[in-house]
Structure 1
Amino acid sequence: MSVFMTLVVLLIIAATAFVLCRQRALAMVAGDARKLHSLPGFHGWHGVVMALVPSILMLAVWLIAQPMVVERQVFAHMPTEMTADASAAQLVMADVRRLAQGLETAVETGRLGAEQATSPTLDPVTLRGVLAEVGVALGSEVTAPILNGAQEYRSLQSNFALWRTIVILAVAALGVAWAVRLTQPDFWARNRVEKVVLGLLILASTIAILTTFGIVYSMLTETIHFFQQYPIADFFFGLTWSPNFKGGSELGVLPLIWGTLYISLVAMVVAVPIGLFAAIYLSEYATPKVRAWVKPLIEVIAGIPTVVFGLFALVTVGPLLRDWFAEPMGLGNSGSSVMTAGIVIGIMNIPFISSLSDDIINAVPQAMRDGSLGLGATKSETVRQVVLPAALPGIVGAVLMAASRAIGETMIVTLGAGAAAKLSLNPFEAMTTMTVKIVGQLTGDTDFASPETLVAFALGMTLFVITLCLNVLALIIVRRYREQYE
């Protein structure tokens, strides 16, 4: 049984548990819910919890452990000369997994019989042709050890899937039986359910935190490997970015940092005033009819893919800035520039600042507005001196989100700003950002042991530190203004 079907059966068992526990609770008090410690619904949800939580946790552990156990068993039966080093072993296991999937597909489509797929006399040449017919392409020749490993891999996967289904459903059934047994008039079902919900909330928070630590750890380890091969001073203080996989690379990050901050600054100059003023208008001045039309139209921008914005920058904004500003002012003749990418990224960020700021401003209590107006303040004075200070933390958060999005943007910069890494104040020159170079260093024929590839992780770590500093700065600003307001 597939994982999806297992989950469907678990949901059916959980629904059954809800009905059984709820009806048992009511039956034990002859239908008088006042004699129960907890409402009948809590008894039902306790049955759901007992059916789902242990079984889903068991399923998660099983899905994590199963591939490791299966591959370890298959790996143990492979010839020693094929698994002499780690890279060779990874390639062998990749071939085994691909061939096992091909065998499964061939059996499902009827190109191979179930017994034929497991036969030790299966001809590798014939098998390759069969797999090609069902759309499975193999990168290397099918050797006997690989075929035997794939057959064993497929067999183990099938056996483990069967036992997984049996164990998971047995755990769910035992949970239902235990929940039904615990269902008594004086059973604290509500407390048990609330504790489980609290535990799930804590688990979700823990996963989010651990994910952040995992990201930092993965970036940090590769960054350390990079600095073991390339001088850290040359990276942070070098003024030239010129990677060369054949040797002699200059990997100074300053031109990339400058391009990233320059384009982000232009984007924020465009997005913050327009987005914030639009939010103030919609929340404080616009009539309900106007708001009902304007707000959705602004939010439509948020649904446009960034590649479309990039094409807009390449085809429309870039030539327009070049013909109307750059060439007449003698500042350049290229449509790819800092201004092109910055303006388009700013337009993309307008709905983020506008929508978030609008919701935050609307959350300010109406009593604060009424009190200000009652003391004789005008509408604009109330907005400036009462509403905006009260909404400042949320507005700063919205601006910070837009800034992070601007710093991390890649496609618009690639199409609108070019790929030149340089230090220049001319906003009509082509420049690039760290994100564009991260993509460039990790695509194509790259050697993941070379500093020219590992530099992408150093750039990612630098981006992480920059955004972290932005968060700290935002917290300082919010706390300072909060103290003045209070």
Structure 2
Amino acid sequence: MTPETQISEYQALRNSAFLRRGRILAGIMQAALFSCAALSVLITGAIIWVLVTESLPFFQQVPFWDFLTDTEWTPVFTEAHYGILPLLTATFWAAGIAMAVATPLGLILSVYLSEFAKPSVREALKPILEMLAAVPTVVFGYFALLFLTPLAKQFIPGLSGFNLLVPGFVMGMMILPYVVSISEDAMRAVPMSLREGAFAIGMSRVQMAFQVVIPGAFSGVTAAYLLGFSRAVGETMVVAIAAGQNPNLTGDPREGAATITAYIVQMSLGDLPHGSLAYSTIFAAGLVLFVITLFFNLTGFFLRRKFREAY
């Protein structure tokens, strides 16, 4: 056997061993990734199972229609009422105020970052916005309660110490990074050829942004706002700290009222007997919250698929 043949066989063996190790590592990585995905599905399924099974005793004793329509929520009182309407109204009030803040600001910022900002400005501003998402929500809650609420009381007559207006505003600032990031990514995905065509027919940059880019990114922008609303509905610490913990059916956001998440926090910290009807209300409220957030997440997903442009 010649030296050249020996070298060739050695290289072939080495390459074969390298490919075999590569296949083994690829199999291990695939199994690990599948396990992580399966674990997340199992955890989600376990959460749903716990919510449903723990809520069943509640709905076996409280008529579902009364649960939806009763205007009082006093599960620990002697004369107990189990109407979710006060908690639901406060939740949507706070989330609606948050979206009233995040919608215009998010649209303006995402259009600016996508169409008007220089690359250096975009690279500086976007990380700063995304850093807001890393701030603990308890910090936002105490900022709303101890700083913004006393400040707002000087300008808004009748504003209570606990209210829905200020926490809603703070939640709007909290979800702003999510809305801006997803919307800006959707706008930047619109092909440059559409922008060039808009300029070719005499559109200004502003006209191009609002008449070409935003419609072209409609599915992504819509999904961003629906996900932002879902995030606001599920927010806990800000409303638990600054909105109050009294279930109050009100149409005035200057008043305090407990949201679904605030009620869950309040009851979880209490001394409720396990298996009691009052204890089951925690899971019934959690199930309602899960259904609401799931609905908006799925709506955003289907809207994104239905109206997504194929470029």
TM-score category, normalised to shorter length: 0.7 to 0.9
Structure 1 residues 392 and 200: alpha-carbon distance in aligned structure 2, compared to 1, 3 A threshold: farther
- Name the structure 2 match of 1:274: 105
- TM-superposed CA distance for 1:197, in Å, is 5.0
TM-score norm. by structure 1 comes to 0.58
Contact 2:240 2:261 in 1 (8 A): no
Matched, 1:31 2:7: no
Q: Distance in 1 between matches of 2:8 and 2:81?
A: 79
- Name the structure 2 match of 1:430: 256
What is the aligned counterpart of 2:126 among 270, 295, 310? 295
Contact 1:259 1:423 in 2 (8 A): yes
Q: Distance in 2 between matches of 1:207 and 1:344?
A: 34
Q: Deviations over 1:390-449 (max 9, x none)?
A: 322222232222212211111111222112212221121111200111111222222111
- TM-superposed CA distance for 1:373, in Å, is 2.4
Which structure 2 residues correspond to residues 65-84 of structure 1 after superposition, within 5 A? none
Structure 1 residues 393 and 199: alpha-carbon distance in aligned structure 2, compared to 1, 3 A threshold: farther
Matched, 1:373 2:204: no
Contact 1:241 1:251 in 2 (8 A): yes
Q: In angstroms, what is the RMSD of aligned CA positions?
A: 2.7
Contact 1:321 1:335 in 2 (8 A): no
Residue 229 of structure 1 aligns with an amino acid whose one-letter code is Q
- TM-superposed CA distance for 1:199, in Å, is 5.1
- TM-superposed CA distance for 1:277, in Å, is 1.2
Q: Distance in 1 between matches of 2:108 and 2:41?
A: 35
- Name the structure 1 match of 2:21: 44
Contact 2:164 2:254 in 1 (8 A): yes
- Name the structure 1 match of 2:117: 286
Residue 42 of structure 1 aligns with an amino acid whose one-letter code is L
- Name the structure 2 match of 1:457: 283
- Name the structure 2 match of 1:175: none
Unaligned runs of 5+ in 1: 1-25, 50-192
- Name the structure 1 match of 2:215: 389
Greater C-alpha Rg: 1
Count of residue pairs the alignment pairs up? 306
Q: Distance in 2 between matches of 1:476 and 1:298?
A: 27
- TM-superposed CA distance for 1:27, in Å, is 8.3
Matched, 1:420 2:246: yes
Which structure 2 residues correspond to residues 322-401 of structure 1 after superposition, within 5 A? 322-325=153-156, 327=157, 332-401=158-227
Matched, 1:226 2:52: no
What is the aligned counterpart of 2:86 among 255, 259, 280? 255
Residue 113 of structure 2 aligns with an amino acid whose one-letter code is L
Residue 212 of structure 2 aligns with an amino acid whose one-letter code is V
- TM-superposed CA distance for 1:266, in Å, is 0.2
Percent same amino acid at aligned positions? 36
- Name the structure 2 match of 1:447: 273
Q: Distance in 2 between matches of 1:275 and 1:284?
A: 14
Q: Deviations over 1:286-323 (max 9, x none)?
A: 11232233223222322211111111111221122222
Q: Distance in 1 between matches of 2:164 and 2:222?
A: 25
Residue 389 of structure 1 aligns with an amino acid whose one-letter code is P
What is the aligned counterpart of 2:294 among 464, 468, 484? 468
Q: Select between 344-353 and 224-233 the one with higher mean Cα deviation.
A: 224-233
Relative contact order (C-alpha < 8 Å, sep 6+): which is higher? 2
Residue 40 of structure 2 aligns with an amino acid whose one-letter code is A
Structure 1 residues 269 and 29: alpha-carbon distance in aligned structure 2, compared to 1, 3 A threshold: farther
Contact 2:227 2:297 in 1 (8 A): no
Contact 2:230 2:297 in 1 (8 A): no
Q: Distance in 2 between matches of 1:211 and 1:301?
A: 28
Q: Distance in 1 between matches of 2:268 and 2:205?
A: 54
Contact 2:58 2:281 in 1 (8 A): yes
Unaligned runs of 5+ in 2: 1-5
Residue 297 of structure 2 aligns with an amino acid whose one-letter code is N
Q: Distance in 2 between matches of 1:407 and 1:468?
A: 11
